[in-house]
Chains A and B, each alone.
Chain A
C-alpha cells in the first residue's frame, strides 16, 4: 500500500475532517472518538496551518468540557422534595384546565347568546329589506 504524504489530502479536506471528528464525538472531551484517518494525521503533522487548527479545536473542546461541567456542577439533580412536589402537582388538576372548565359554561352561554342575538338581528334586517322591496314593487 502507498505511504500517505502531506499532499495526499488537501488542507480543506483535513479541516472538514477535524470538524466532522469533533461533531461526531460525544461530549466530555472526545471520549470514544474514532481515530482520524492516517492520511489526515500525516497531513496534520506536516502542515502548520492544519496543526494549528487541530490544536485549537482540541483546546476549545477541553475548555468547553471543563467550563460547562463547572457550570452544571452548580445545578444539582432534582431533590427528593422537588420530585415529590412535581408528582403531587401532576396528580392535581392543571390550573389552566381547571380555569377553562370553570369558564366553559358561562363562555358557552355568552357565545350562544351572541349568536342568537346576531341571527335575530340579521333576520330583522332581512325582513325589513324584503318588506321595503315589496312596497317599492307594489308602487
Chain B
C-alpha cells in the first residue's frame, strides 16, 4: 500500500534525531495521527500532512553547527513551500535549531538567517544542561500555542547545549517584538519573566524559549513538550501547580496517565485543525 500522510502529522526523521518516537506518541495523545518520514523519502508525501514536526536530537551529528546540515537538506525546500502556504511546522530543540538555521524563524526575511541558537550561557556551568523550566506565552497568534491561556505557566523540560536565542540585529529584534513573535518565554513558577539563571536556563535574550514566524504557523522551541505530555512525566518535586497536581496523583496510576502540561502544544494543533476543517 502506498504511503500516505493524509490526515497525519509528519515527524521528520533526519539521521541522528532521537526524539521521533515519543514525539509521535505525544501527537497521538490528543487523538491525531502521526507517522515518521525519513529524510530521504519523497518530500511530496508531505503535501497531504496536517503539519510537520522536526523532533529533537543531534541531526547529522551537529556537524559544523547544530541544525545547519539539516537546514540544507533538500526536504527543507518542501517544508519552505508548505510553510509559505500556512501549513503548521514545529521544531523542537534540534528541530528549532534547524528552523533557525534555515531562516524560517524569525522569517521576517524568509530564509535569511537572522537569529542564532548559541551555546548556553549559565551561572557556574557550561555545556549541556537538562532541567525543567517554566514557560509563559508571549504573543497571541501562533497555531502551536492557541490553546495556552494568557497567564498560564507551562512547565516543560529542556536538554541542550546550544539553546540561547540571540541576535545582534536590533531591527530584527524590534520587528520580532512588534509582531509578537517571541511567543514563549522562560519565567518563574509564578510567571515572572526574570533573566537570572536558572529561570532563564541558557541566557537567551528576552528569555526567549520559543519564537514563531510572523504568520504564526511555524514555531521553533527549545523545551521538549513531548517529555511533559503525561502527568507521570512531571517530577514530583517540581514547584508550582503542576508539581502539586503530580504529588496528589501519587498512588493513582489512572491519574498519572492523564495530560501533562506539555500536551497543550499538541492540543493547540488539534484545535487549529478543527477550526480549519
Are the chains A and B members of one assembly? no
Q: B residues within 8 Å of A by Cβ?
A: none
